[in-house]
Amino acid sequence: MALMRDDSKLEPLEARRRQVADAFAPGGALARAVAGFVPRSSQRDMALAVFDAIVERGTLVAEAGTGTGKTFAYLVPSLLAGGRVLVSVGTKTLQDQIFDKDLRIVSGALGTRTDAVLLKGRQNYICLHRLERAAGDGLHETREAAAQLRHIERFARTSVSGDRAEVSSVPETAGIWHAVTSTQDNCLGADCPRFEPCFVYRARRRALAAQVVVVNHHLFLADMALRDEHFAELLPTVDTVVLDEAHHLPRIGNEFFGEGWSLAQVAELAADALATGLHAARDGAPWIDLTRSLEHAAREVRVSLAQAGLAAGSKLALDRLSEPAAVADALAGLQQRAEQLNAALEQNAGRDPELDLLAPRVERLRAQVLDWRQATAASAGAAHGQTAKPAPASADAAGDAVVRWISASVSGAQFRATPLSVSDSFVRARQRVAQAWILTSATLTVASRFDAFLGEIGLEATTRRWDSPFDFRQQALLYLPDPMPSPNSEHFAEDVADAAWPVICSSGGRAFVLCATLKAVARVAARLEQHMEQSGTRFPLLIQGKGTRRNLLQTYRNASGAVLVGSISFWEGIDVRGEALSLVVIDKLPFAPPDDPLVEARVRALRSQGRNPFIEYQLPQAVTLLKQGAGRLIRDEHDRGVLMILDGRLLSKSYGRTVIDSLPPFALTRDESVARRFFRGS
């Protein structure tokens, strides 16, 4: 379907390349169609580099600073080059912006008719079959669940998309969603009585026929993982793949190329087995007893994890559990319950297609639990004296090194085996189809070098970078207080709040204070509260943990002069435009916690290869995050803001220079009065 490599087409190609350049010129297609369009040579150059990569079916890794206008810079050449395009992004904000706005603007400006589809993961669409089953089985009889079910039924009767995001009356987190959406495991596919009107398959059919498909990285990587295992494909095969916000790919890749199971999955399996068993084979087995004892065994596993030192909200590498033997025993109990349920399903095989779908799920769970039980028992053996060192990463079925770790929530837990590197998976995916790959983001380099990112994803690529067109020297200030509070001091959190308070007063709130740990969040917030009380100067104070992230951000946007105190997780995916965010305070450089199981295993692995994990892995990650934050502060030509960092390592350590050089060219001051005066010009 695509262009390319045919000499007879060189001329039309050259003409199209000119068309790409002309679209960005003064008085060009974009200037005529988009009010306030400012022609920028960096945007045009990026568009031409994208066009060339498409023609060559090459791989382009492009960093474009905030304000370059990179979505137009890849949409214009992608549409003009012809062929089919997949655009994958890391955040919902950008997904909506591209689909609802940018694509329409660009195709309008170019005068092309673009058939575009936004495709989401299957869990976003209502499953008509499960909805019917849920409505009929009477198992959702709390008043709230019944009312939610009625809302969803009414919506499904009239909806074209079946997209659950359109059901605003039912909260995203409501338990009912599990009963009315499908997973790959419980979907009946072509055997389903509702296959024809099925929202999931209708959306996929539309995507197969569309010229442009917009997805998120989770779906893109899920597709990559499925193709890797020769299972199936979720997405159409296209000529051009654009991966925007590409800095997210290594992290999200870890989720998809690893393996794992969770106690929530056990609970879902129990709920499905109960509903299906009672519906399809009520007399076939004691479904209530079987599923209750499965759930009970899952709770016992959670209790054993708590006893082994895994607190809610934390993660531990398997070899760091303090009582692995107790966890292994609890897993043995779970395995036994899964075997009993499996036996019941086998006895009822052939009675109902949906019941038959449960058997492989239970078998898979049994095998995973057995695998983890054995690994945990081995770890218990090691803990009893054979070795004092943490065990090295083990290997998955493909022989890739993996680290096993467990994370816990209040009542749940996830068991994960995560590959130490995702590069092989990316290389295989890149080689599978002859197509162009464009990877772009505002944050792919460290001190202008792409090595760390390319090393993570393992691809050979043409690299290009364009600085932000904003005048950072005029619009922004990097303030490093003099003296810096000592991070080793017991009062570091309070010292941070004390140093930030005068600047917060000068900025009139409008500030994010980002801390390295949740503990620091509470202490910094408490100290700021004290300052407000003592001075009588009040700003709306929003604190992570007191409300959902979404609500806090919404309140921040609506309140005037608010101060939000959060951990570094608040840094990304946040889009607060204009003056509402004028000051960002960071207590420490955002290095990933060294005791995070994946970080620990990767550091160990790099060290064992004689490499420098700090320079190759930890520093680039922290720099990427810091650059993301700096990008939030200045969103357009008129934005102004101060970035205040209280980490003395920026000045005392040799890598501090690398960090500063990786940031946009802020004006720099160490003088508090200069930082405070900066806001007078706002």
Taking the C-alpha atoms of residue 29 and residue 19, their distance in angstroms, rounded to an integer, is 9
Three-state secondary structure string covering 108-163: HHHCCCCCEEECCCHHHEECHHHHHHHHHHCCCCCHHHHHHHHHHHHHHHHCCCCE
Which residues, 6 or more positions from 474, have their beta carbon under 8 angstroms from its beta carbon? 667
Cβ at position 280, least distance to ligand SF4 in Å: 14
Q: Considering beta carbons, is residue 135 or 370 the nearer one to ligand SF4?
A: 135
Bridge partner residues of 547 (DSSP)? 545
- 651 to 481, 483, 589, 646, 659: CA distances (angstroms): 11, 11, 12, 10, 10
Cβ at position 193, least distance to ligand SF4 in Å: 7
Cβ at position 362, least distance to ligand SF4 in Å: 18
Identity of residue 153: E
Q: Considering beta carbons, is residue 202 or 635 the nearer one to ligand SF4?
A: 202
Bridge partner residues of 402 (DSSP)? 394, 419
- 194 to 136, 158, 628: CA distances (angstroms): 15, 15, 44
User: Where do we find the tokens 């003395």?
Assistant: 648
Cβ at position 96, least distance to ligand SF4 in Å: 24
Q: Considering beta carbons, is residue 134 or 576 the nearer one to ligand SF4?
A: 134
Q: Considering beta carbons, is residue 201 or 539 the nearer one to ligand SF4?
A: 201
Cβ at position 201, least distance to ligand SF4 in Å: 6
Q: Considering beta carbons, is residue 31 or 359 the nearer one to ligand SF4?
A: 359
Torsional sign, CA 635, 517, 445, 667: positive
For residues 475 and 663, the answer to whether their CB atoms sit within 8 Å is no
- Nearest Cα neighbor of 271 from 156, 145, 368 is 145
For residues 118 and 99, the answer to whether their CB atoms sit within 8 Å is yes
Q: Considering beta carbons, is residue 132 or 339 the nearer one to ligand SF4?
A: 132
Q: Considering beta carbons, is residue 129 or 465 the nearer one to ligand SF4?
A: 129
For residues 453 and 426, the answer to whether their CB atoms sit within 8 Å is no
Q: Considering beta carbons, is residue 125 or 466 the nearer one to ligand SF4?
A: 125
Half-sphere exposure of residue 245: CA atoms within 13 angstroms, side-chain side: 23
DSSP string, 540-598: -EEETBSB-HHHHHHHHHHSSS-EEEEEGGGSTT----GGG--EEEESS--PPPTTSHH
Q: Where are the alpha helices (DSSP H) in 433-477?
A: 451-457, 472-475
Bridge partner residues of 215 (DSSP)? 88
- 279 to 177, 274, 355: CA distances (angstroms): 19, 8, 9
Locate 598 and state its tokens.
């994946």
Q: Considering beta carbons, is residue 192 or 477 the nearer one to ligand SF4?
A: 192
Strand order in the sheet with 583-586: 541-543, 563-567, 511-515, 583-586, 641-645, 476-479, 667-669
Residue 484 is given by DSSP the state P
Q: Considering beta carbons, is residue 185 or 339 the nearer one to ligand SF4?
A: 185
Cβ at position 192, least distance to ligand SF4 in Å: 3
Cβ at position 124, least distance to ligand SF4 in Å: 11
3-state secondary structure of 372: helix
- Nearest Cα neighbor of 51 from 346, 603, 438, 350 is 438
Cβ at position 200, least distance to ligand SF4 in Å: 4
Q: Considering beta carbons, is residue 197 or 286 the nearer one to ligand SF4?
A: 197
Q: Considering beta carbons, is residue 192 or 317 the nearer one to ligand SF4?
A: 192
Pairing mode, if any, of strands 315-317 and 401-408? antiparallel
Identity of residue 619: L
Q: Considering beta carbons, is residue 128 or 476 the nearer one to ligand SF4?
A: 128
Q: Considering beta carbons, is residue 185 or 579 the nearer one to ligand SF4?
A: 185
Residues at the site binding ligand SF4, with contacts judged by CB under 6 A: 127-130, 182, 187-189, 192, 194-195, 198, 200-201
Cβ at position 487, least distance to ligand SF4 in Å: 52
Taking the C-alpha atoms of residue 641 and residue 644, their distance in angstroms, rounded to an integer, is 10
Cβ at position 191, least distance to ligand SF4 in Å: 8
Q: Considering beta carbons, is residue 90 or 277 the nearer one to ligand SF4?
A: 277
Cβ at position 174, least distance to ligand SF4 in Å: 19
Cβ at position 188, least distance to ligand SF4 in Å: 4
Q: Considering beta carbons, is residue 39 or 189 the nearer one to ligand SF4?
A: 189
Taking the C-alpha atoms of residue 364 and residue 95, their distance in angstroms, rounded to an integer, is 34
Cβ at position 186, least distance to ligand SF4 in Å: 7
Which residues, 6 or more positions from 410, have their beta carbon under 8 angstroms from its beta carbon? 312
Cβ at position 358, least distance to ligand SF4 in Å: 13
Q: Considering beta carbons, is residue 123 or 394 the nearer one to ligand SF4?
A: 123
Burial category of 387 from C-beta neighbours within 10 Å (exposed 0-12, middle 13-18, buried 19 and up): exposed
- Determine if the peptide bond prior to 483 is cis (ω within 30°): yes
Cβ at position 84, least distance to ligand SF4 in Å: 25
Cβ at position 181, least distance to ligand SF4 in Å: 8
Taking the C-alpha atoms of residue 129 and residue 525, their distance in angstroms, rounded to an integer, is 49
Cβ at position 164, least distance to ligand SF4 in Å: 12
Angle value at C-alpha 231, between 225 and 237, nearest 5 degrees: 70
Locate 28 and state its tokens.
């060009």
